[in-house]
């Protein structure tokens, strides 16, 4: 990482004695979130559908001295989610922070979109987020404290041709965020969403340069975000500094959508 992205703007013990669960954490934005939460002192449980990839990410963090526990879980399956949260509590006795990051895409124009692809995206991105959220509510309510942070997308705010299922799921996450925030606010739990814009990852690096330049025309700051930009926002929302913020969707998009 270059100097701009390999930074931590928070205190190293800001989330000490806290336990965080990050879904979809084997690479990209999820891995950056897990790394940043480790940097600020949290015990971090990371999950991914791939045992190999999530184990590799955990090993890379453990070599830096961080406390990380890797679990292979498919959040589209309720039984996997229940196991994920149960194992987290067995390992660390609590779950203080949930970051719902896992997601998939099956991009296709709506008139050509297969039912099974629509179902897969909604099941993972939206229903999976619901499963994880629901699973942590009881332990958080018992603690009278908790932070739930859902990773949505600017696509859920503005739509995008060829991404009907993804846009619907990410818009649904925003509605889920607001409703959950209203249901559990009196229990000391905040629920917020982050809507990233164009973030540089291995996936976006494959987009042709010509198309990337066209995207830049819509970004007032005139550069693409990094996974660390999203991770920093997660850390803020997970901290006491954001204790009076709930039900909000924070756009990390360089002004792309306003």
Homologous superfamily (CATH) for 19-250? NAD(P)-binding Rossmann-like Domain (3.40.50.720)
Which pair of tokens denotes residue 238? 């997970």
Kindly give the pairing relationship between strand 68-72 and strand 146-151.
unpaired
DSSP E strand boundaries for 167-245: 189-196
Q: Output the DSSP codes for 59-127.
A: HHHHTTT--EEEEE--TTSHHHHHHHHHHHHHHHS---EEEE-------B-GGG--HHHHHHHIIIIII
Indicate the DSSP class of residue 126.
Answer: I
Going residue by residue through the chain, which has 258 residues, state the pLDDT in tens, using 9 for 90 and above: 344 556 777 888 999 999 999 999 999 999 999 999 999 999 999 999 999 999 999 999 999 999 999 999 999 999 999 999 999 999 999 999 999 999 999 999 999 999 999 999 999 999 999 999 999 999 999 999 999 999 999 999 999 999 999 999 999 999 999 999 999 999 999 999 999 999 998 877 778 888 889 999 999 999 999 999 999 999 999 999 999 999 999 999 999 999
- Give the predicted TM-score (pTM) of the model: 0.95
The position carrying tokens 């299922």 is: 165
Enumerate the active-site residues: 166
């Amino acid at each position: 990482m270059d100097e701009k992205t390999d930074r931590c703007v928070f205190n190293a013990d800001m989330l000490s004695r806290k336990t965080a669960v990050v879904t979809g954490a084997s690479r990209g934005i999820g891995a950056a979130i897990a790394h940043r939460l480790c940097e600020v002192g949290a015990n971090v449980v990371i999950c991914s559908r791939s045992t190999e990839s999530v184990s590799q990410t955990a090993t890379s963090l453990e070599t830096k001295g961080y406390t990380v526990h890797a679990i292979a879980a498919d959040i589209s399956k309720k039984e996997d989610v229940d196991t994920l949260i149960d194992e987290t509590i067995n390992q660390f006795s609590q779950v203080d922070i949930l970051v719902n990051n896992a997601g998939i895409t099956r991009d296709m124009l709506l008139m050509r979109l297969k039912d099974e692809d629509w179902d897969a995206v909604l099941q993972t991105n939206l229903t999976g987020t619901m499963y994880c959220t629901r699973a942590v509510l009881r332990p958080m309510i018992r603690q009278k404290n908790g932070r739930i942070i859902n990773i949505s997308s600017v696509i859920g705010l503005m739509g995008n041709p060829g991404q009907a299922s993804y846009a619907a799921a990410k818009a649904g996450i925003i509605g889920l965020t607001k409703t959950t925030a209203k249901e559990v606010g009196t229990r000391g739990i905040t629920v917020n969403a982050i809507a990233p814009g164009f973030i540089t990852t291995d996936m976006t690096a494959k987009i042709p340069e010509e198309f990337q330049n066209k995207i830049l025309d819509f970004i007032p700051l005139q550069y693409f975000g990094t996974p660390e930009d999203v991770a920093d926002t997660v850390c803020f929302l997970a901290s006491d500094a954001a204790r009076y913020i709930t039900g909000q969707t924070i756009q990390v998009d360089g002004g792309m959508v306003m």
